[in-house]
Amino acid sequence: MFIDTPPAASRAIAETVRFADLVIVPTRPSPHDLRAVGATVDIVEQFAKPLVFVVNSGTARARITSEAAVALSQHGTVAPVTIHHRVDFAASMIDGRTVMEHDPAGRSASEIGQLWEYLAQRLQKLRLQAGGDEAQAQQPAFGGALWRHAPAFGRRAVAS
């Protein structure tokens, strides 16, 4: 289960982190956004939870994007995939789709898929480290399939 929280330090955020297996912090590569993650890092450290930063809305080949990743790496793990700022993210939201549905072969969908793969692998390692069932740990995370094998990834579940 993923829980998307507002970008602020609060008691609700702390309670969410307390129950998290992995905390993912998407961060834009700007000084203001980088300063803002400090409170979240403090909460994550308080509960000794694993943390992964994701550089989000980066500009390709911009120095500030790579500098943000370096700065974040001083405080935790940075995902090896940068999610770049592209028009297809906004275009996909016009009719409520994700970039995976909007343009499955596009660069944005590829980045999201690579990030999904990385996070699935991190969760598998956490299961093994926690002494989870070896057979269960062998199964890919997120519903038994990694992103490239899961055609439903990126789609909202609709209750019937």
Domains in the chain, please, with CATH?
Answer: 11-134 (3.40.50.300)
Residues 6+ apart with CB under 8 A from 53: 25, 26, 27, 37, 69, 72, 73, 75, 76, 77, 78, 79
Q: In terms of Cα–Cα distance, which of 62, 86, 64, 67 is closest to 78? A: 67
Q: What is the number of alpha carbons within 13 Å of residue 70 lying toward its C-beta?
A: 5
The residue that leads in pLDDT, 157 or 4, is: 4
Could you tell me which of 151, 76, 82, 92 has the C-alpha nearest to residue 114?
82
Over residues 84-129, the pLDDT tens digits come to: 999 999 999 999 999 999 999 999 999 999 999 999 999 999 999 9
Q: What are 14-60's pLDDT values in tens digits?
A: 999 999 999 999 999 999 999 989 989 999 999 999 999 999 999 99
Q: What is the pLDDT of residue 151?
A: 38
pLDDT of residue 153: 42
The answer, yes or no, to whether residue 72 has pLDDT greater than 90, is yes
Q: Is 112 in contact with 91 (CB distance < 8 Å)? A: no
Look at 143 and 128; give whichever has higher pLDDT: 128
Which pLDDT value is given to residue 104?
A: 94
To the question of pTM greater than 0.85 for the whole model, the response is: no
| pLDDT of 48 | 95
Residue 29, helix vs strand vs coil = coil
